[in-house]
A = this chain, B = another copy of it.
Amino acid sequence: MRDRTMANIRDIAKAAGVSVSTVSKALNGYSDVKKKTRELVLNVAKELDYLPNVMARGLITKKSNTIGIFFGDQQNSGFDYPFFSDLIRSIKDTAGAAGYDILIFANQKRSTSSYKTICYEKGVDGVILILTGDQRADENIRELHESLPTVYIDSVSHKFNNVNFVESDNLTAAAEAVEHLIQLGHTKILKLAGDDVAKASYDRVEGYKKALQKHGLEVNNDLIVYGEFSKEKAYQLTKRAFSKHNGITAVFSSSDMMAFGAIEALRDLGLRVPEDIAVVGFDDLDQSRLFDPPLTTVHQQRYKMGETAAKILLQLIDNENGITQNARIPASLIIRESCGMKRRN
């Protein structure tokens, strides 16, 4: 892409009458350059419209000032696009303020499936992982953790230890949501879980159990079903659950998308939300507020999550032997209308 017309460091050296090394030092702000020399070099550089070649520099310094992002783009995953959109914005803001750009891995033609290889190939300084589905449990990720600063956002497989991640405080938030239902008088609550590999998914189930136990209610594993964060799957599972079990009065879904699927299923079953069945989601997507009925759900601080992940990554990059860091971002229940105001007895 470079025009023949572009000046390089040698052109500057020639024009300024100094050596290439001196130019390099002046440009990089080294202190062992006479002030007058530095100024001369800087002026000439400006005049020649000089631009450093990041490839040449990176070849030596092994630094690219770029952070990589892998993101799984399965539709209807826990990380649907509205979610991703906030994350990328916050990562862009945070990394950008620190002088970094963002590389989104997209190339589908690569011969390798090694995350580490791919990162090395592009020379990123660190990487943020936003994975979905089976990607999360891919053994190939392990060597990435070990060789490059890596931070997960909410998509860690529970089989990896000692990895850096930021997540919502899923357990606490899920328990809060279920307690809300219990306080409204519900005792038989269908749990529409995500999958059984993501820690986030797992924690939301644990929160559900914890709230039931706290109130002396039985945990019935038949009422915990796994919808893979998919609206369609949630639709089917809800239909099946309501035909198999009597007396369910509420649904706690591990994502808003699944909650939408569940509500559709309930309607097709002739059940009204919230009059007959209460539904709570998880995520607080933009559309959930506008949904009919407005969805009661757990708000995840998406911007905050991305920002925190980027900050941790930046620290890790600056400090190679940094310790493993996990951040749990508070998530809180937003009460709207999908649970009605049903009171105990």
Q: Which residues of A are in contact with B by a Cβ distance under 8 Å?
A: 1-3, 6, 49, 51-56, 58-59, 62-66, 73, 81-82, 84-86, 88-89, 91-93, 95-109, 112, 117, 119-125, 147-148, 286-287, 290-292
Contacts and interface: CB of A to CB of B under 8 A. Distances in A.
A97 B65 CA distance: 26
Given A82-B286, A89-B81, A286-B82, A1 B62 contact: yes
Contacts of A56: 55, 59
Nearest to A84: B85
A52 B59 CA distance: 12
A102 to B, nearest CB: 4
A95, A106, A122: residue with the most chain B Cβ atoms closer than 10 Å: A106
A54 B96 contact: no
Contacts of A291: 290
Nearest to A121: B54
Protomer copies: 2
A54 B107 contact: no
Contact of A121 (B51, B84, B125): B51
A2 B120 contact: yes
B81 A106 contact: no
Given A51-B121, A97-B108, A286-B287, 6 more contacts: A1-B62, A1-B123, A1-B124, A2-B62, A51-B120, A101-B106
Nearest to A68: B101
A79 to B, nearest CB: 11
A295 to B, nearest CB: 10
B85 A119 contact: no
A334 to B, nearest CB: 16
A44 B65 CA distance: 32
B81 A85 contact: yes
Nearest to A143: B49
A41 to B, nearest CB: 14
A99 B88 contact: no
A122 B54 contact: yes
B123 A55 contact: yes
A226 B85 CA distance: 27
Contacts of A120: 1-2, 6, 51, 53
Contacts of A84: 85
17 contacts: A1-B63, A1-B120, A1-B148, A2-B62, A2-B120, A3-B147, A6-B120, A51-B117, A54-B123, A55-B56, A82-B82, A82-B286, A85-B85, A96-B106, A100-B106, A101-B105, A287-B287
Contact of A96 (B82, B96, B107): B107
Given A54-B122, A117-B51, A102 B103 contact: yes
